[in-house]
Amino acid sequence: MTTQSAFKRIGLFIRKDDPVMENAVEQVNEFLATRDLTVVCNEPLSFLPSLDVISIKEFKTHCDLTIAIGGDGTLLSASRALAGTNMPVVGINVGRLGFLADVTLTNLSHQLDAILCGHYRNDSRFLLNASITGGTKPPSIAMNDVVIHSYQNLHMIEFETHINGRFLNSQRADGIVVSTPTGSTAYAMSAGGPILDVDLDVVVLASVCPHTLSNRPLVVSANNVIEITLSENNITTAMVTCDGRPGLVLQPGETVRIEKHESRIRLLHLEDHDHYSILRAKLEWGRKLTC
């Protein structure tokens, strides 16, 4: 006998430009159909024309669980769109092992059934807001990182960093990454930053190819307000990129303000979820060394 589901209305989130989703979405939809649940999707699907389609912005009133199908990038997109709704999100990983999306198609029926029946671990992650001081555009949201880098060329940029209004430093570099613990295994790690425990309430500032050899990553409280000003000496503009998606153009003399978002994202994991196990697998820490 099937145990009653803890969730009744499911929203499937996929990225429209992902061509490998058809088989995965069909598997998930077939499984959910056996549970007598209401299912909607954020995109129209030619292979599932009977599936109701609504914008993810409407998920908060029509759904009580979002399932992001694809990988970490898809889950990040869903999380940004759902910021402020407190809607739980489950990631189904299609392809390589993900840090965030840990339900697999191979074990879909067992793993997703456990979560639907209420056997899961809550994982709360904070987000970042990035906005141009005095600008008219709304803030951009990041779950992984905010990156300031040269726009449309390979020039280094010159910028100053202030934390809570206090001057930190002035530097020339290819850019700077301001990362949450969630994003510490992404671009920030490539820039030489530390891997942060996901439960820490901190952010890391890691410069990308800094011109000064003494420059080192800095970890500060996530409750700080970080302001990065593009020097007027720059001959080019910069781009403020959130989670790898271009957003705000930063002109010489302008300041980007980065601070913690007022809401958090609620991820659901399997009860035996082990972040360190994922780190070992993803970063190949457990490989046996050979002479």
Residue 168: its pLDDT value, please?
Answer: 97
162 is in an annotated binding site: no
145 is in an annotated binding site: yes
Q: What is the pLDDT along the chain (291 residues), one digit of tens a residue?
A: 455 678 999 999 998 756 678 889 999 999 999 988 999 999 998 889 999 999 999 999 999 999 999 989 999 999 999 999 999 999 999 876 678 988 999 999 999 999 999 999 999 999 999 999 987 888 899 999 999 999 878 889 999 999 999 999 999 999 999 999 999 999 999 999 999 999 999 999 999 999 998 899 999 999 999 999 999 999 889 999 999 997 889 999 999 999 999 999 999 999 998 888 888 888 888 766 665
User: Which tokens sit at 288?
Assistant: 């046996």
Q: What separation in angstroms does the CA of 216 have from each of 87, 194, 207? A: 37, 10, 8
- In the beta sheet, which residues pair with residue 248? 240
Residue 43: its pLDDT value, please?
Answer: 92
Tokens 């059934």, located at residue: 113
144 is in an annotated binding site: yes
Please choose, from the candidates 207, 226, 205, the residue with its C-alpha nearest in 3D space to the C-alpha of residue 156.
207
Total residue count of the chain as it appears in this document: 291
DSSP 1-59: -PPPPS--EEEEE--TT-TTHHHHHHHHHHHHHTTT-EEEESS--TT-TTSEE--GGGH
CB 42 within 8 Å of CB 52: no
Q: Annotated catalytic residue: which of 72, 102, 123, 243?
A: 72
Residue 19: its pLDDT value, please?
Answer: 64
Please choose, from the candidates 269, 254, 230, the residue with its C-alpha nearest in 3D space to the C-alpha of residue 115.
269
User: Which tokens sit at 284?
Assistant: 């190949």
Residue type, 25: V
How does DSSP classify residue 109?
H
User: Which tokens sit at 260?
Assistant: 């913690």
End-to-end CA distance of the chain: 54
CB 192 within 8 Å of CB 174: no
Residue 289: its pLDDT value, please?
Answer: 62
Residue 281: its pLDDT value, please?
Answer: 83
Catalytic residue at 72? yes
Query: Phi and psi of 22, rounded to 5°?
Result: -55, -50
Q: What separation in angstroms does the CA of 164 have from each of 71, 168, 220? A: 35, 10, 11
72 is in an annotated binding site: yes
User: Which tokens sit at 1?
Assistant: 């006998």
233 is in an annotated binding site: no
78 is in an annotated binding site: no
CB 219 within 8 Å of CB 203: yes
185 is in an annotated binding site: yes
Tokens 């409750």, located at residue: 223
Tokens 């908060």, located at residue: 60
CB 128 within 8 Å of CB 141: yes
64 is in an annotated binding site: no
Please choose, from the candidates 147, 261, 156, the residue with its C-alpha nearest in 3D space to the C-alpha of residue 206.
147
User: Which tokens sit at 253?
Assistant: 């003399």
